[in-house]
Structure 1
Amino acid sequence: MSDNTLVVLGLGSRSTAFYLQALNKEYNAKFGGYSTCPLVLYNVNFHAINTLLPKPSKALKDVLQPSFSAIQSFQASHVLIPNITLHETVDEMLIPQQIIHPIHLTINAIKAKQIKKVVVFGSIYTMSSNYIKDALNAHNIDVLVPNASEMKLIDTVRQAIYNHTETDDLMDSYFNLCNTYALKHTIVLACTELSIIKPKNDAILDMAQLQIESAIKAINK
């Protein structure tokens, strides 16, 4: 393996496929020809993980630990996790590899744009918990959350995308909500499923895209 080896932890099938496709697209755009992103995919049974999400727990850490131990054999310099929520648990574990962390990347991107206030779109847990909010507040970034009915819509969209059951009407309602918030605020997408199908809008900051861009830079230093 090279000194800069990227390992992608394979989780949900649609989100993992999205990351792999996006990594290849970003890599090809940079290097041209028939270039594809050099990486190692370590696929796990997502059912065992997903049934223990979203909150950190000893049980969830115990399920994850063998995967991260196995990843060491690939001499990985960086690990990309295609699940935003899972990072809250990983933060509490002793992982020797450098995690391409969506929260840290988001903070840097917000500060670079000199933005003082954002609204977070994610799962109901993500929007209701303090994990992202506290991390951003620590850097003097105010965090807004949608109201209860809007959260329900966003979470319904998230679940539909995961299950491949999204409809045009549902997505139209979601895109309208995105566009309404984007008129006044920067939206932070903090859910991989929402990254898969997103409106094109300069006011949207996508955590997954930040991870992907960082991964390409990391393995080509």
Structure 2
Amino acid sequence: MMRTLGIVGGMSWESTATYYRLLNEGVRERAGGLHSCPMVLHSVDFAPFAENMGVNDWESITNGLVHAAKSVESGGANAVVIATNTMHKAAPEVQAAVDIPLLHMADAIAAGAKKAGASKLGLLGTAFTMEQDFLSRPLMEKYGLEVIVPGNEGRSLVHRTIFDELCCGKIIDKTRCDYISIINSLIEAGADAIVLGCTEIGLLVRAEDVSVPLIDTVHAHVELALEYVFS
């Protein structure tokens, strides 16, 4: 008997589609036949969330996420997955609002780091993810992992291209080269794995592009979710 996942997605739908595919492929691989992943998906309109991020209105964002989490809970989900890194800023409030467990991205990243044998992680993501500690703090405090981020210019480029390009489905070779350069600077600073800490970055950067392991947070989060589905 598989457990049902509640997916809070749409931020952006580009990566939510990857979650959906990977979860179903993972269930088919484990269970075979015509089995697919039991899930309840609440996919939000991302535009208001992005606008609220732009004016630092996290109260509205949190309210929207809480509403979505309650929606999947009432729909029969046994756990909730926020299918984006940045929105884990509101993870404590979301968890407090529902009676089902939230499968946290930091736990997924830590599992990926353990698999890679890594202890110093270079983190890419939105400015919120790179500059605030809602992911880096649990990685350091709970798992003893060191987290480093790009310098100001690199952070600005990554943040801008996530919203202007990747969330809009635009995959640009020049941007890939820029990301690889930023990643190489993190490797030179001692990173022994790179966390693609925005769920769209895996659409752009591939394992063969860099010399250390990549922890693609979509894949890592899906693995954590599948463990729960079959537990």
- TM-score scaled to structure 2, two decimals? 0.81
> 2: CA distance between counterparts of 1:30 and 1:196?
25
Query: Which residue of structure 1 aligns with residue 205 of structure 2?
Result: 198
Instruction: Name the one with the larger helix percent.
Output: 2
Query: Which residue of structure 1 aligns with residue 130 of structure 2?
Result: 127
4+ residue segments displaced more than 6 Å? none
Q: Which residues of structure 1 form unaligned runs of 5+?
A: none
Query: Which residue of structure 2 aligns with residue 218 of structure 1?
Result: 228
Give the CA RMSD over aligned residues. Answer: 2.6
Bigger drift between 50-59 and 62-71 goes to 50-59
Amino acid corresponding to residue 157 of structure 2 in structure 1? L
Query: Which residue of structure 2 aligns with residue 69 of structure 1?
Result: 70
Select the residue among 142, 147, 151 that pairs with 1:143: 147
Query: Which residue of structure 1 aligns with residue 13 of structure 2?
Result: 13
Amino acid corresponding to residue 209 of structure 1 in structure 2? H
Q: Is the 8 A contact 1:189 1:195 kept in 2?
A: yes
Q: Is the 8 A contact 1:175 1:199 kept in 2?
A: no
- TM-score scaled to structure 1, two decimals? 0.85
The 1:180–1:132 alpha-carbon spacing in structure 2 relative to 1, beyond 3 Å, is same
Post-superposition offset of 1:162 = 0.7
Q: Is the 8 A contact 1:157 1:166 kept in 2?
A: no
Post-superposition offset of 1:176 = 4.2
Q: Is the 8 A contact 1:56 1:89 kept in 2?
A: no
Amino acid corresponding to residue 72 of structure 2 in structure 1? I
Amino acid corresponding to residue 30 of structure 1 in structure 2? R
The 1:104–1:177 alpha-carbon spacing in structure 2 relative to 1, beyond 3 Å, is same
Query: Any idea what SS the aligned residue of 2:150 has?
Result: coil
Q: How many residues align?
A: 220
Post-superposition offset of 1:14 = 1.1
Q: Is the 8 A contact 1:15 1:192 kept in 2?
A: yes
Bigger drift between 162-171 and 105-114 goes to 105-114
